[in-house]
Copies of this chain bind each other. A is one copy, B any other.
Amino acid sequence: NHVIVCGYGRNGKQAAQKLLDYKQDFVVIEKDHEVVDKFAEEDLLFIEGNANEDEVLIEAGLERASTIICALPSDADNLFIVLSARQINPSLKIISRATEETSYRKMKLAGADNVILPDKIGGDHMASLVVVPDLIEFLDNLSISGDDDSINVEQVSFENVCPSGDEQAIEKLDIRRKTGCSVIGYKGPTGEYVVNPEPSLVLKKGSKLILIGRPTQIESLKNLYNV
């Protein structure tokens, strides 16, 4: 149930750092011996080898992994890994970077769940600093260390929140008092989002609630609703 990170370049290193912060188990596949040597002392588990080779992926535990992050610099290499990984483990979550916009569709076709274009994400982030600066500052300043300044967001389905099947208003559920979590969004049965819904909004069958909380609050939420 671990994560495999392919490539310890700029993208892979940053991804690994965040996984460490969240105490998420992971292993890094890196073919450059000097890179492995240099960082192996730190708290990282490396497999020295080429992620393009099925045996290396299997050595990294691909068959029982939850997720693979393809962070090699070349789109062709990442595409090759996406295809191999999807063949070996059909239920794996596959996340890949891509440099070229034209690679996006190819990677999706090959089986990637998420394709990240760093230049797009970077441009988006620059504009977000202009249009939603307080949101960006809030998210950037959270040091995700499991304490009071850690954030988590959880989606809970109508079926979990209202196991009887009766459609109820958000305020009737009294979630804040019971779990400490706050409702920040609602996703209706046809996929439409409402940010910060009114307490009087009635949950429809097939909808989802989006809640924010600290790790302990999210934990009580999950316990209460059997998530």
Q: Which of B13, B93, B119 contacts A10 (CB 8 A)?
A: B119
Q: Is A213 an interface residue (CB 8 A)?
A: yes
Which residues of B lie under 8 Å from residue A121 when comparing CB positions?
118, 121-122, 125
A56 adjacent to chain B (CB < 8 Å): no
A217 touching B196 by the CB < 8 A rule? yes
One complex includes copies of this chain to the number of 2
Min Cβ gap A211→B in Å is 9
Q: Are A97 and B126 in contact (CB under 8 A)?
A: yes
Chain B residues in 8 Å Cβ range of A93: 129-130
Does A117 sit at the interface, judged by CB under 8 A? yes
Stretch at the interface among A32-40, A41-49, A79-87, A147-155: A147-155
Q: In the complex the two chains form, what is the Cα distance from A181 to B182 in whole Å?
A: 12
The smallest beta-carbon distance between A120 and chain B, in angstroms, is: 5
Q: Which residues of A contact B (CB under 8 A)?
A: 3, 9-19, 22, 24, 67, 69, 71, 93, 95, 97, 101, 114, 116-132, 134-135, 137-138, 141-142, 144, 148-155, 176, 180-185, 187, 192-196, 198-199, 210, 212-214, 217
Given contacts A182-B182, A194-B214, 5 further A-B contacts (CB under 8 A): A10-B119, A10-B123, A18-B124, A116-B125, A196-B214
